[in-house]
Every structure is written in structure tokens, then in C-alpha cells.
Structure 1
Amino acid sequence: MTHRIIHPEGWLPAKGYANGMLTRDGVLHIGGQIGWDESKRFVSGGFIGQMRQALKNIAAIVEAAGGEVSDVTRLTWFVTDKQEYLAHQSEIGAAYREVFGKHFPAMSMVVVKELIEDEAVVEIEATAHLS
């Protein structure tokens, strides 16, 4: 087998996609994570709450694969409101550090009109390299 599907224990099933795909050489591709929890319920707190939850979801997938957040090498963010993101930089930084500490992988930010889930205001995908 050249890859293994990664799905954290206790999460509702992913339908039509994999949360994580771990390759034989240790590259973990993490599908876009939004601000819902393991039961697919959106958390409160608007952009900051959803962003924090999306990062927690990424951390859970990395840990389910046997890694840690410091193994994440890339994050791609998709946001629906550029102005909201820019207006809350200090809160965003604090929420980010709650989950990822002072680990700052390569990142890209893309502003999009909307996301598939109507309630979602941010989606973050990641790549990690596990030993």
C-alpha cells in the first residue's frame, strides 16, 4: 500500500473525502479543515472560533498519524472576509499560538467568495512531514 487514510478516533465519518492521507514516505496531506468539531457541529466565536477549531482539527489529524504540530510544513488558508481577517490580527495570532505555539510553517492565504459549508468562514489545509 502506498498510502494510509488518517481519521481521528471518535470523529464522524468523512463522506467523499479523506481528512488525512499519509504516504509511505511520511508526507501527510490534510484536507481542508473548517470550524466544526468531531461531530460536524460548528463552534461559536465567529472567525476566531472557527479558525481555532480548524487548527485543532489539523493538530488532531497530525497526532492521529503519529506526529505533532511541529511536523506541519505548510498551511493554506481560505477566508471569506479579508477585512475581518485584517481587523483581528492580534486575536488571530493569540488563537493560532494556542494550538501551534511558535511553530510557523510556510503559509498562503487565499480570499474566496464562499466555502462549500454555508456557515464556514475559514478553511485551512495542511501538509506535514512525519519521520
Structure 2
Amino acid sequence: MSKQIIHTDGAPQAIGTYSQAVKVGNTVYLSGQIGLDPTSMEMVDGIEAQVHRVFTNLKAVAEASGGSLADVVKLNVFLIDLSNFALVNTIMAEYFTQPYPARAAVGVASLPRGALVEADGVIELNA
């Protein structure tokens, strides 16, 4: 199977050596998104705004791949402060509906650009 590189201006441009997403067959691998505004490429302020921006960025890439957040089967969330876990759950419920994707939440020491949260995921598209 060949791989297709997914790109959208609705999410931040890559800040490293990676693609926004890669599609292989019906599976899409979403690269990690942080709270960067895709227009300014600046970090939004505060944890709540960053969590919203992360999910908005993931949504844009998912849609560019031909899917949606409803197609996410696995989500990984990285937080520099796990005390924000409940906030992530609350905001995530605004972007995802049941049945929710499988998920991991991991506490990390730091993230790119001083981000407070990052998330990546895997989408399975309908054939």
C-alpha cells in the first residue's frame, strides 16, 4: 500500500521533520498537535485555550484526510501537569461523542514551544 501525506492550512504547519498526517489504506496517523494557531503560528494562551486549539487542529487534519474526529480510534494526550486531566476530559467531551476512542494520558516534563498539552491519534476511515 502506498502512503498519502495529508496537509491542511486549517492546522499549523509542521515545526519539524514530520507531516500533519499520513494515510495508509483506510488508516490515518495524526501527528501531535499543540496549541498553535495555524494563522499566526503562535501559541494560544492558557491551558483551556490550548486544549481547545489542540482538538480544533486535530479536527482540521482529520477532515483533510476525509474523516472526522468521530473516526478517531486511538488518542494520546500529553500533559505537563496531570492536574489538568479533568479539564481535558471536559473539553474533549465537546469534540467527541460516545463511543469514545481508546485513549492514553501521559504526564511529560515538557512539550515543544512551551506547550501545556499535545495530542495525536489514529483514525480508521470507512472503506
AA aligned opposite 2:102: A
The residue identity in structure 2 corresponding to 1:73 is V
Percent identity, aligned pairs only, is 30
Q: Which runs of 5+ in 2 are unaligned?
A: none
Residues 13 and 34 of structure 1: is their aligned pair in 2 closer, same or farther, counting only changes over 3 Å?
A: closer
The CA deviation at 1:68 is 1.3
Q: Distance in 1 between matches of 2:10 and 2:35?
A: 17
Amino acid at match of 1:26: N
TM-score (norm. length: structure 1): 0.84
Counterpart secondary structure, 2:52:
helix
Aligned 1:60-71 pairs, distance under 5 A? 60-71=60-71
1:118-129 correspondence to structure 2 within 5 Å: 118=114, 120-129=115-124
User: Is residue 17 from structure 1 mapped to residue 18 from structure 2 by the alignment?
Assistant: yes
RMSD: 1.8
Evaluate the alpha carbon distance shift between residue 102 and residue 49 of structure 1 in structure 2; reply closer, same or farther with a 3 A threshold: farther
- State the alpha-carbon separation in 1 of the partners of residues 47 and 91 from structure 2: 11
Structure 1: gaps (5+ residues): none
How many residues of Structure 1 are paired with residues of Structure 2 in the alignment?
A: 124
Mapped partners of 1:12, 1:113: distance in 2? 23
Query: TM-score, length-normalised on structure 2?
Result: 0.86
Shift of 1:112: 0.4
Q: Distance in 2 between matches of 1:35 and 1:12?
A: 9
1:38 partner SS: coil
53 and 13 in structure 1: CA distance in 2 versus 1, 3 angstrom threshold? closer
Which residue is equivalent to 1:38? 38
Give the corresponding residue for 1:97: 93
Within 5 Å, which residues of 2 pair with 1:41-56? 41-44=42-45, 46-56=46-56
